[in-house]
Amino acid sequence: MVMKKMADLNLEKSGAAEKNLATVLPHSLSDEEFEFYSRQIVLPHIGYDGQIKLKHARICIVGLGGLGSPAALQLASMGVGHIRLVDHDVVEISNLQRQYIYSAKYLGYPKVEVAAKRLKELNPNINVEPLPLSLSHWNAEEIVRDMDVIVDGLDHIGPRRVLNRACLKTGVPYVYGAAIMTFGNVSTIIPRETPCLECFLGGINEDVLPTCATVGVHPAILNIVASIEVSEAVRIVLGKKPLLASKLLYCDISEMSFEIIQISKVENCPVCGLNNIDFSHEAENIFEVCGREGGRTFIVTPKKNLNLEMDRLVNLINNSRDFHIEVKANLGVTFTSKSGGKISILKSGVMIVANASSKEEVHHLYDEIVIRGLGSSVCKSVCKTDHCRIPYDRGTVANCPFV
């Protein structure tokens, strides 16, 4: 009752004194929810009214790695009513050093599936929407549409640029965050109001950038950056001005330094400025990521969500003498090949192949299992992608997932 009175006091301060909550707010909190969120309801800048706003908020976290996983835990525990999780990967043993949402028993499971299970265990009052997708030029707008804010959990500049463009086009606020080694930065992008990502990170060549696999990352900096991202996202949901709009926060825990840099729009920015450019030609269907299992690793991303029948996929792999299933989950399956490769196929049609020798090998594998094996496409015409130009005997594919 003391907490309830304090919440009512917050409403009085906001000009809602003496009014029935049912007439002021569209919904109220259950007794269980009130107790769950009691330690933040008493905060003056949240209050009971703010908690209702969080309950009706829709936040998308793109990428469930070192940044996305702590951000997801915080947003779920704070009571964000609908959380959309987007990631194209499975849990690897090297993730566990910093991605606390997972555990060793879930190695090989789709990240979105494990994260959704963990968030619902943490807070059964929220809705969690797991999407085992690879963010791309083709699906980015669909992923961010109808969301109140997007939280960046990505680890490469390329997908961030795609996300930035989609948010600009759909008008959805985007909280950018990045971290490596002991330093990180955060900025909040409000479409048509603040500089966009391209304004202050444009022209960067991702091929020359270091990665966590090559230079490492301190778990503490990830949690700091993720927490600041959450703070900015919550401010947007509550209708308050984000503190990092038109600003870039830089922090380095090796020196315990925090600096805020004012940033400005670039007049000829290729995304939000006068010099608008179409980047669709940059989209790739297959790309190489940091190596795993001691070899090269590739990710195949179909143009559309194939929504594979997982039972058929599992039966197909089980009936093959070349493969052995290690993990069978609802949203994906992980298996090994006789050649020593580790393969994961998600329900969306995304495939991750570790220990592959080349893109051509990965294309052959995808064709063997997904296209030919599952019969997901009927042949009509040859497309112009590398996939169909591979010189071996195969039919042509209509509705090819790579076109």
For residues 187 and 205, what is the distance between their CA atoms, to the nearest angstrom? 20
Tokens 């939280």 belong to 151
Long-range contacts (CB closer than 8 Å, 24 or more residues apart) made by 45-51: 45/238, 45/240, 46/234, 46/238, 47/7, 47/10, 47/11, 47/14, 48/7, 48/8, 48/10, 48/11, 48/21, 49/10, 49/11, 49/14, 49/16, 49/24, 49/25, 50/238, 51/79
Active site includes 212?
Answer: yes
User: Beta 149-152 vs 58-62: how paired, if at all?
Assistant: parallel
H/E segment holding residue 77: helix 68-78
Given a contact cutoff of 8 angstroms between Cβ atoms, the answer to whether 248 and 261 are in contact is yes
Nearest to 366 by CA among 347, 389, 385, 343: 343
| Backbone dihedral angles phi then psi of residue 364, each to the nearest 5 degrees | -60, -45
Catalytic residue among 60, 199, 212, 272: 212
- Catalytic residue ranges: 212
